[in-house]
Amino acid sequence: MREFDFVVEMNPFDRYRQRHLSIKGKIIKFTAQYETNIGGQWLPVVRYDTAHGFFHRDVMHPNKRREKISIEAADFNEALTFAREDIKRSWQNYKAAFIKEMNRYEN
């Protein structure tokens, strides 16, 4: 079994975090997460993982609520690829929605 754990700095305020376990190239468990730095604190905004035994996306909210969405995938290799590509393509939208919601709570 091999474990991989790494962070990719996208810019000084945004990063991608990934952890996965694999056996002979087959992903058996993973977490892929987009985080943003607001006020000096790294906050998770969206996370894909296989916790609870199924592939899903957790959309985080500033009030600590999580919105869990189950996603179909052929296997966890396909799921991890989907997660990485979605974060790469949509992180700015996830961030904008998170900040917009945060501003509503502050006003």
pLDDT in the model for residue 99: 95
Going across the sheet that includes 66-70, the strands are 2-11, 14-23, 26-38, 41-49, 56-60, 66-70
pLDDT in the model for residue 53: 85
pLDDT in the model for residue 70: 94
pLDDT in the model for residue 50: 96
Helices (H) and strands (E) in the chain, counts: 1, 6
Domain range list for the chain = 2-106
Q: Contact at 8 Å (CB) between 32 and 15?
A: no
Determine the straight-line distance between the first and last CA of the chain, rounded to whole angstroms: 49
Stretches where the chain sits below pLDDT 70 are: 106-107
pLDDT in the model for residue 11: 97
How far is the C-alpha of 106 from the C-alpha of 81, rounded, in Å? 36
pLDDT in the model for residue 103: 87
Phi-psi region of 24 (alpha: psi -120 to 50; beta: other; left: phi over 0): left
pLDDT digits (tens, 9 = 90+) for 10-21: 999 999 999 999
